[in-house]
Every structure is written in C-alpha cells, then in structure tokens.
Structure 1
C-alpha cells in the first residue's frame, strides 16, 4: 500500500531515528570543538582544518552513499538495513572520537583526523538512508508533513536532553577529569542512540518502490536528477534554510552574553527558550498544512520570520525579556517551516518520477544532505569573518560597538536577508497541494497500467499460463 495513513507509533518511530542521530551528532556540533581545544589539547587552526576537510570528502561520499542505498535490495527494504547495522560502529566511533590517548602531538592530531573521518563516514552511511526513508514511507504528501513534525519534535527533545545533561554528566562521571568524563558520557549517549535507532527500524516500513524497469546506472541517475528542476530548487531551499538557522544558532550565545549581558543561567535560559520555541512551531506545522497548502504555510512563516528578525535587531540590549520573546518567536516560525521543507524534498522526488519515469530517492536526499552541510560550513565561516570584521575580542568582559553590531547582525538581519531569498525560492518551487494531488493520481494510474501489462505478459500464450 503506497498511500498510507501512518499510525502515531510509526510517526514516533521515524522521529526516533533522527533523535538517535542527534544524541551523538549534536554533541559533535556543540561540544567537539571545545573538547579538541580545551580537553584534547590541539590548536584551533588544526580543529578548523579537520572540520573543513570533511566537507570536501562529503562531496564525494554523499552521492555515492545515496546511490548505494538506492541499489540495496534486502528483505528489510533499501534503506532500513543501514538503520539496523551501521549505528553500532557509528556509536563506537563517537566514543573513540571523545577518547584522549596520551600520545605525541602529531600522533594525537592523526588520531583526531582518523576518528572524526570514521565518524563522518559512518554518520553519512546512517543519515542519508534515514532521510531517504522519509521519501518512501507514504506517498501522501500531507502525511509527510505530519511524520516530519514528529521527527523534529523528538529531535528537539533530544537536544534538550543533551544540553541539560552532557556537561553535568561529564563532571559527575569524570570526577574532575574531563577526559574520562567525556568518554563515559558519550558512551551513555551512544547506547541511548542505539535504542532509538532500533525502535525506528522496528516500527517504520518502506512502501514506495522505484519503477520496476528503472535503469540502475549512476550516470542515468544523475541525468534524471539534472532534468528535475524542482530538485534543483529544493537544493537551494535546503542550503538557505540551513544557513540562516545555523547562523542564528551560532550567534545566540554571543548575543546573550555580550548584547544582553546575561550570566551563565540567563544564557542557558535564552538558548533553551529558542529550542522550546522551535519544538512548538514544529508541533503545529502539520495542523497548519492540513488546512492550508503546505507551500503557502512555509512561505507565510518565512515572511513572518523576516519581520520578527528585523524587530529583534531594533530591540535595545537592555530589553532582555522582549529580546527573549522575539527570539522564541523567530525559532517558533522556523520550526513551522522545518518539517515542510523536508516534505517538499519528497514532493520534488515524486515530481521527478512523474517527469522522467525514474525514482532516485537515495541520491536525491544525499544532494539535500550535502547542501545542508554546506549551509553549516558557510555559517561557521561567516560567523568567524563577521566577528573578526567587528573587532571581537575573545574573553573580553565588554565588546566594542562594532563587535556588538556584528553579533546582532549575525542573529537578526543577515538571517532575515537570507530568508528573503529563501521566500523567493519557495515561491518558484511551485508544487502546491493541488498539483501534488494531480501528480500522485497520475503516478498511481501509471503503476496500475504497468501492473496490468506485467500480468498480461505472464498469462499470455507466448509465455505460458499462470495456472499451468
């Protein structure tokens, strides 16, 4: 059954997969840089080189992993086997990455490169099949928003668990030794992640299969994707959505510390409030898109996000409560659009199958994942360059007016400008719910015709009776 109304259990199960991803990868995003510089003891320049070098590797490994997943045939489907088997070595690599061997400096750098490289490859081998799985659970484009909403609600919960517990666990388990504390804590997080992946595998099913006569050559796959203009647009949407989000996330701590002048508790409340706002926006995304075309909801929430970001820039730093409320609103509006953007990826894949007769879910989602990673990499570079342009001084009790303005721009007006371009891309994407309903009907007719043709061929006199 292709057009399936999913149970709440299956929606939760799908969300558990990405929650499992983020129980480990979120720790990498938020804490690995600190671990490398302050605990492991390697220079920030080397750390930056390690992170950037993997983006070049991703440009090769992401599409190859997508192609491999598309061509996988097993009793569990094309994508689910990777969610069952790969998380085990991924968990081990995460623990090893937060382990500190007492070696020479050059050997330690080599170890950091090797373990980060292994973790990144294994993360790709899990995350691309997982994201592609979201394109084959059901062909109901409204249900796609619903289960993607569950996904990002559970991701938000994973972030809250990680943020609230990681450093206290490091202190508790390490007994003052952060090297031991990080290793033991990541072991616990990895075990939790394995349970989440297992739950995802057990509860989610693949229902959409590629056309039976589809070509399997990678060159044919890439040519088919190149003809899909909606996929090209969704790559831009993915990049812009990620870029504005990671810029805001990266600038939030600087903004809370220097613009609002908050202490440790206040900073934690400010950042956590943004996470809660995003979860709330994600939770109502499906409700909104069931009443209005999801493309219209995405466009409206993006435009509202632009306005709220501009208002946040205009609020004085002394208005802490108002700034926090606006920060929550911005994240709430971003949360509304996040599940829809992932649902649109699957819509673009349906459109590609309708236009070209081929379905290449793994490679298609691999492209989106790569552009999301590009957004993450560009955001890190922009934060560094803008802070340097403003004369930011690390560790200073007070920053210059130029530095404070640079921080405010990174949190507000620059993401707003990027979101304006994002709104234009959403407009040109063009696939609203009515269009997707028509495409879905056409694909179902083609499938019935193909099935009827195959049945006739099997029962024709030339090939022998099916009942002989």
Structure 2
C-alpha cells in the first residue's frame, strides 16, 4: 500500500464541502420531509408515513450493493472519487423533483412522491457511500482522520444551520408566503450549490490507501468478513438508532413549535432577548438596500423554531471543537458514549416543560447541542477505524462495504424515524386543517420529541459495549497496519 501522507487544509476543506452539499438535502429530508408531505403537498399522515418508510428502506438495502460496486471500481481517479463526479448532477436534479408539487390528484400525488423519493435516496446512496468511504482512504493516520472528521462535521453543522434555522424563513421569502412555491425555489438553490460543491470535492481530494494488487476477494468473502466483524455489527446498530433519533426529534420540532409552545410566551421571550429588535434592524437594512422581498417572516413560531435550531447548532459546532482533543486523549469509543448519553438526558428534559417554559426549552437545546456535537465527528471516524480493524484482522481491505453499514444505518434510521413522525401524528389524530390540535395530538407530539428519542439514543450507547475498539486497540491497529503498509 502507498505511504500514508499528511493531508493539507485545502484538501480537508475540499472534502468537507461534499458533506455540506449532501446535508443541504439530507437535513431537509430529516427535518422537513414529513412536514412537506402533510402540510405542503397535503398527503395524509398515515400515507406519508408509509412512503417515507418504504422508500427509505429500499434505499437502505441498496447500500450493500453500492458498497460492493464501489469497492470493485477501478479508474484513473481511484475507487470512490469518480462516483462523486458521476452522481453530482443527478443528485441535484432528483432533490429538486422530490420537493416539487405537480398538481395531481390524490393517487397521483402519492405515486409521484413515492417515485421521486425512491430515486432520490438511490442517487444519494450512489454518491454518499463512496464519499464516506473516501475518508477511509485519504489517510491512514488516525489523528489526521480525527482532524478530517472535525472539518467534515463543521460543514455538516453549517448545512444543518442553513436548513434548520433558515429553511422555513427562506421558504416564506422565496415563495412570497406560498410554502409550495417556496420549497421548490429553496431546494432549487440547494441543488445548484450542492452540485458545485460535489465537483470541488472530486477535484481537491486524493486516494492514498489502495488495496494491494494481490487482493482479489469475492462478494461472498466480503459479506462473510462483515458478519464476523463485531465492531461493524455494533456500529450498524448504533447508526440505525442514532438516525432514528435525529429524524424523529428533528421532524417533530416544527410541530412542537406550531402546536405546543405558547405563542404569546414565545413572542415575549423573543422580544426580551432582543431577537425582535435584531430582526427589525435586519429588515430595515434590507429595505434600505432595496431588498423588500427578503424581509424576515413575521410568524412567531417560525422565528422561534429558527432561533431554537440555530442555538443548538452553534453549540454543536462548539462541541465539535472539543471532539478531537478528547478523542485523541481518551479514545473515540468512550468519548462518543459519554457525550451521547448526556445529550440524551437533555432531550428527556423537554417532557417536563410547560408550554410557557420557553427559556428552559432553549437552554436545554443548547446543552443538548454541545454534548451531541462532541459525538458527531466520532461516528464517522469510528467507521473508518472499523475498516482498519477489518484489514488488520483479515488482511483484506473492503472500505466501501464497511461504510455501507453507516449509509444503510443512516437510511434505515431516516426511514424509520421519518415514518414514526408521520405515523405518530396519524395515531394521535393530527389534522393540518385545525388551528388548534386536540390535547391527545399535542401529547403525542411532546412524547415523540422527548421520551422516545431519549430511549433510542440510550440504545445506541448500550451497543457501544460490543464495539471493542478502545484507545489501546486503536493504537495497536494503527501501528501494525503502518508496518504492513511499509513492507508492501
């Protein structure tokens, strides 16, 4: 294998832009897909739940297939980089189609939504699985890999900030109050930006770790190695439950702000902290620049929801800043488990807040963001370590098939969590036509963004007991693989 070189800051930034591109769409799916289907495209919640689950699971089971294909791709650009190039434009196009709203009848809407969602998640797999596997072959230095993950997840948090804090205001602004038109225009902007960033990732990265010329394993051998790899199985389950959590709580936040929190108390809180004055100043600035059409929306729940997400994301980014230091000192596994457990406790606190406990809601979100931010880069870095573990144990490297666990878990978690959002709404009688939901519906919304995601996060923490790659094992694997690669 080739020498494991240090990587430049420009390559780290170029690589991270790929995740920014993917997450402009992924974060929108995770946070707003159920809302888009139920409140914008007017698909019944139970039907939306079925579409999200079935479409997402089809995409999830495509990932192992994509992993096999990517591991056996051989081009002058490497194994994984060409897939980023080939899928950039199709990914942007399918994202735009999935959030378009053609004027079909009830059955036509269902068929259109199901078809475009399936195509989007398939193209996402063909792009994001090779992209994720690329982090495992850019460098074999685990400290550099931790650094790369930190750069990557600053980009993820930036995309998350844009989507969760600014998407609804952008939808109202770019649609001039029409959410249907606003979603199409906003996703159109995201799609163009995403295509450009994916092309930059392709142009600025390099694959340095390549399998030896003697390696020639069968698909059967690859899967046999996987299911004998206990850390891989643990990470598969961890990823599924983490993305169930993120999709469930993220998808419920918008309903929580629109239906549970007291609008008058929320408005008073925004006024007391100076947010309303800030927005007024921003609107005046835009007016003076002639940009009257870009005024921040006056809707209180939209403002509160955006600020709530922004606070959490800012503190996530702060948490990411601590991640590498803690991981280098204590090992990824232990830091990941502790930070994830503490973030779960913050979610549980939401269950006990009244509709007027606005300050506590915002403070809990920021603390949750900080602890979750510490864990965020480590998830992907641990998958790269599992690829090293597989090579160390079996003397064969199959990076993409290892990373297929992550993308499968991501897709499965997104599908289950998104389906749970729409399914719980249907179970508790949610009706988007009502100005005030029933107490039963509000109780279901509250339960789904506090107790249930706390439980699924805790399941992920429990799975870490079977992961097995602690700090000592990390060092041992890195040292032995380095020696083997020098000889090769």
Pair in the same fold by TM > 0.5? yes
2:44 counterpart of 1:47: no
Deviates more, 1:222-231 or 1:386-395: 386-395
Partner of 1:463: none
State the match for 2:129 in structure 1. Answer: 128
Q: Given the superposition, is the C-alpha separation of residues 117 and 376 from structure 1 closer, same or farther in structure 2, using an over 3 Å criterion?
A: closer
| Alignment equivalent of 1:371, drawn from 409, 427, 430 | 409
Q: Once the two structures are superposed, what CA deviation does each residue of 1:329-383 show, in whole Å capped at 9, x if it has no partner?
A: 1122111111111111111111111111221111111122112222222223444
| Pairing 1:287–2:325 present | yes
Moved more, 152-161 or 315-324: 315-324
Q: Structure 1 CA distance, aligned partners of 2:307 and 2:389?
A: 43
Q: Is the 8 A contact 2:143 2:328 kept in 1?
A: yes
- Taking the aligned partners of 1:412 and 1:38, their CA distance within structure 2 comes to 22
> Could you tell me how far apart the structure 2 residues matched to 1:247 and 1:38 are?
17
Aligned partner (choices 342, 365, 383) of residue 327 of structure 1: 365
Residues matched between the structures, number: 449
Q: Which moved more, 1:389-398 or 1:70-79?
A: 389-398
Partner of 1:193: 194
Provide the rounded CA distance (Å) in 2 between the counterparts of 1:396 and 1:40. Answer: 18
Task: Using the TM superposition, give the Cα deviation of residue 119 of structure 1 relative to its aligned residue in structure 2, in angstroms.
Answer: 2.0
- 1:210 paired residue number: 211
Match of 1:437 among 466, 475, 480: 475
Q: Which moved more, 1:367-376 or 1:254-263?
A: 254-263
Q: Which residue of 2 aligns with 1:80?
A: 81
In 2, distance between residues paired with 1:289 and 1:98? Answer: 39
Contact 2:46–2:422 (CA<8 Å) still a contact in 1?
A: no
- Residues 296-343 of structure 1 show CA distances to partners (whole Å, capped at 9, x for unaligned) of 211221232244344444444433212211121112211111111111
Taking only aligned residues, the RMSD between alpha carbons, in angstroms, comes to 2.8
Post-superposition shift, 1:196? 1.1
* 2:49 match: secondary structure: helix
* Aligned partner of residue 397 in structure 2, secondary structure: coil
CA distance in 2, matches of 1:169, 1:258: 21
- 1:66-105 deviation per Cα after TM superposition (whole angstroms, max 9, x unaligned): 1111111111111011111211122122223334445565
Deviation readout 1:366-425 (Å, 9 max, x if unpaired): 12211222222222344455556666665453652x655544433333333333332222
Q: Determine the C-alpha separation between the residues in 2 that align with 1:295 and 1:234.
A: 11
Tell me, yes or no, if structure 1 residue 397 matches structure 2 residue 398: no
- Distance in 2 (CA, whole Å) between partners of 1:438 and 1:197 is 35
Task: State yes or no: 1:70 paired with 2:71.
Answer: yes
Task: Indicate conservation of the 8 Å contact 2:63/2:129, yes or no.
Answer: yes
Residue in 2 that maps onto 1:301: 339
2:184 is aligned to 183
* Structure 1 residue 193 displacement after superposition: 0.8
Equivalence for 2:459: 421
- Give the corresponding residue for 2:288: none
Distance 2:351 2:470 in 1: 33
Structure 1 residues 19 and 362 mapped into 2: Cα distance closer, same or farther (>3 Å)? Answer: same
Q: Which moved more, 1:169-178 or 1:156-165?
A: 169-178
For 2:296, the equivalent position in structure 1 comes to: none
Contact map agreement 1:6 1:143 (CA 8 A) in 2: yes
1:66–1:128 Cα contact (<8 Å) kept = yes
Whole-angstrom distance in 2 between the partners of 1:409 and 1:7: 46
1:302-317 to structure 2, matched below 5 A, reads: 302-317=340-355
Is it true that 1:155 corresponds to 2:156 in the alignment?
Answer: yes
TM-score for the superposition, normalised by structure 1: 0.86
**TM-score, length basis structure 2:** 0.83
How big is each residue's C-alpha offset from its partner over 1:221-267, in whole Å with a ceiling of 9 and x where there is no partner? 11111121111111111122222232322332343444432441223
**Which structure's CA Rg is the greater one?**
1
The answer to whether 1:92 aligns with 2:130 is: no
CA deviations on 1:179-229 (whole Å, 9 max, x unpaired) are: 554434333221111121122112222111224322342111111111211
The question of whether the paired residues in 2 share the 8 Å contact of 1:299 and 1:427 is answered with: no
* Matched residue, 2:294: none
**CA deviation after TM superposition for structure 1 residue 64, in Å:** 1.0
How far has the Cα of 1:19 moved from its partner? 0.5
TM-aligned CA distance change 1:406 to 1:240, over 3 Å = same
1:291 offset after TM fit, Å? 2.9
Q: Which moved more, 1:411-420 or 1:237-246?
A: 411-420
Task: Provide closer, same or farther for how the CA distance between residues 306 and 116 of structure 1 changes in structure 2, counting only shifts above 3 A.
Answer: closer
Give ranges in structure 1 of 5+ residues lacking alignment.
Answer: 452-468
CA contact (8 A) 1:20 1:193 kept: yes
Check whether the contact 2:165–2:307 (CA below 8 A) recurs between aligned residues. Answer: no
Q: Aligned with 2:93: secondary structure?
A: helix
Q: Give, in whole Å, the separation in 1 of the partners of 2:391 and 2:355.
A: 51
| Mean CA deviation greater in 4-13 or 164-173 | 164-173
Aligned twin of 2:315: 277
Cα offset for 1:126? 0.3
Of structures 1 and 2, the one scoring higher in RCO (CA 8 A, sep 6+) is: 2
